[in-house]
Chain A
């Protein structure tokens, strides 16, 4: 009986996650942000790679620096996904269909995380490939043992950052304050405190994940207790 109940719960969660995916998929802002981030990352790779090659392909040019700027796109993705619920009356329909708020937020986060991982893989992978094409003349290829972990780390980082954006968006319910706060932190305060420019900072998934988790938990607790 309890196994059957658990089965039912998983089924409900999967359906909730499916509907969250459909909602994100149908959001024009999602596609616009995706296109902007992807195009921007390729443009940056183009700019960074256009200096004549002097040595082997540099990880900085094809991966670290474009990712540093792509952060902005993923912040927007998360914030927009969360705030789209509150732009009109969407949240009421959502809660009508899925009244368990904690499950609803978890399903939405899982759906967003999944999409963000795919988008991040596209942006990072596309940037690296494009960089390789541009730097074909370079003296040597990059060590795969170095590239693959860095790329995976960057993908994880961007996805976790998206979740952080969504958590902040859920807390504020408004796009501009959430996005401005997180962007200011990432691009101004954090480089200021650490003393190194944003483009020299390696993505740090393990460092960011606890923060994302903390804000996610806080946002779920707030959503559970406040008037929608």
Chain B
């Protein structure tokens, strides 16, 4: 528990963490505000949140990459990870604590973003903010789960690369308006089982692809990807020279 608290305080003290929070809430809300729409569509709000997931991705990536940023030759090329491992030598525990912090902060961020997006959307459409059906709630739960899993995906990938730049570039470009995974579905139906696209089934009802996965199955596929990645990343993190 003390490890979790330490990791939380480290994460919250990064300027990039607050940047990620601002991006996560403002980008999807901004899209909703800017996009003048003629008729309500089935994926209104969810589509915007699928772009706003960038905030969660940045959060997951920097939680790990900040450990490996060199402080420069003046401090003997020192990196945060040296201090971290001195304080918490059990690497498995450290990795889990970090994952817990990443997952829970992105969970909170996702709730904030979802609330903001749907409040703005429903106010602009003149619908009651609180008029939620069971399906709405399930889809919102889906989008929140998607954010949490995407941030853990970024976290796990960064544990491999030890630098945020590749995971960030790959995940950022892939979350742009037309995702690479979606383009790949045109080459092979197997691309529907890539984590991001499978995870989108949890909330999107408007994905025009050949293979249809149910929301639960889509979420399960994504969760398996993320769990597998985290297990391998944890092994690498524990075995490798820091």
Binding site for B on A (CB under 8 A): 36, 44, 46-48, 50-51, 65, 69, 72, 75-76, 80, 87-89, 175-177, 179-180, 183-184, 187-188, 191-193, 197-199
* Contact B178 A183, beta carbon cutoff 8 Å: no
In the complex, A65 Cα to B30 Cα: how many Å?
26
Do B178 and A199 have beta carbons less than 8 Å apart? yes
Give B103-140 as 1s and 0s: 1 = Cβ < 8 Å from A's Cβ atoms.
00000000000000000000000000000000000000
> Known pairs A175-B163, A193-B34, A197-B177. 5 more at Cβ < 8 A?
A47-B186, A51-B186, A88-B73, A184-B54, A187-B173
Cβ-based interface call for B16 (8 A): yes
Is the C-beta of B82 less than 8 angstroms from some C-beta in chain A? no
- B residues neighboring A (CB under 8 Å): 16, 23, 27, 30-31, 34, 51, 54, 58, 62, 65, 69-70, 72-73, 77, 163-166, 168-169, 172-173, 175-178, 180, 183-184, 186-188
Contact A76 B177 (CB under 8 A): no
A6 CA / B220 CA spacing, docked (Å):
69
User: By the criterion CB–CB under 8 Å, are B173 and A72 in contact?
Assistant: yes
Query: Which residues of A lie under 8 Å from residue B30 when comparing CB positions?
Result: 192
Among A36, A47, A176, A193, contact of B65 (Cβ-Cβ < 8 Å): A176
Contact between B183 and A48, CB atoms less than 8 A apart: yes
Report whether B172 and A50 are in contact in the complex, using a CB–CB cutoff of 8 Å: no
For A48, what are the chain B residues with a Cβ–Cβ distance below 8 Å?
183, 186
Give the residues in chain B near A188, CB-CB below 8 Å: 27, 51, 54, 172, 176
The answer to whether A179 and B180 touch across the interface, beta carbons within 8 angstroms, is no
Q: Contact: A47 with B184, CB < 8 Å? A: yes
The A interface is mostly helix, strand or loop, or mixed, namely helix
Q: Give bound CA distance, A129 to B72, whole Å.
A: 44
Q: Known contacts A51-B186, A176-B164, A180-B168; is A187 also within 8 Å of B16 by CB? A: no
Shortest Cβ distance from residue B229 to the other chain A in the assembled complex, whole angstroms = 19
Is B168 in contact with A176, judged by CB distance below 8 angstroms? yes
The CA of A69 and the CA of B178, in the complex, are separated in Å by: 10
Does B183 lie within 8 Å of A47, measured CB to CB?
Answer: yes
Q: Given contacts A184-B23, A192-B34, are A179 and B183 in contact (CB under 8 A)? A: no
Q: Across the interface, name the chain B residue whose C-beta is closest to A40.
A: B180
Q: Could you write out 7 A-B pairs with CB less than 8 Å apart?
A: A50-B186, A80-B165, A175-B165, A183-B168, A188-B51, A192-B30, A198-B178
CA distance A76 to B167 in the complex (A): 12
User: Which residues in B have their C-beta under 8 angstroms from that of A69?
Assistant: 173, 180
Q: How far does the alpha carbon of A64 sit from the alpha carbon of B183 in the complex, in Å?
A: 14
* Inter-chain contact B183/A72, CB cutoff 8 Å: no
Task: Give every chain A residue within 8 A of B163 (Cβ-Cβ).
Answer: 175
Q: Are B172 and A187 in contact (CB under 8 A)?
A: yes
Whether A180 pairs with B58 at a CB distance below 8 angstroms is: yes
**Contact between B23 and A176, CB atoms less than 8 A apart:** no
Q: In the complex, what residues of A have CB within 8 A of residue B173's CB?
A: 69, 72, 183, 187
Q: How far is the CA of A42 from the CA of B101 in the complex (A)?
A: 38
CB distance from A205 to the nearest CB of B (A): 21
Give the residues in chain A near B175, CB-CB below 8 Å. 187
CB distance from B52 to the nearest CB of A (A): 9
With the chains together, A88 CA to B172 CA distance in Å? 27
| Minimum C-beta distance from B39 to chain A (A) | 17
Query: Complex Cα distance A117/B30, Å?
Result: 36
Which of A44, A65, A177, A188 counts the most chain B CB atoms within 10 A? A188
Q: Which residue of B lies closest to A80 (CB)?
A: B165
Q: Which residues of B contact A75 (CB under 8 A)?
A: 169
Whether B176 lies near A44 (C-beta < 8 A) is no
Bound-complex Cα distance A180 to B58 (A):
9
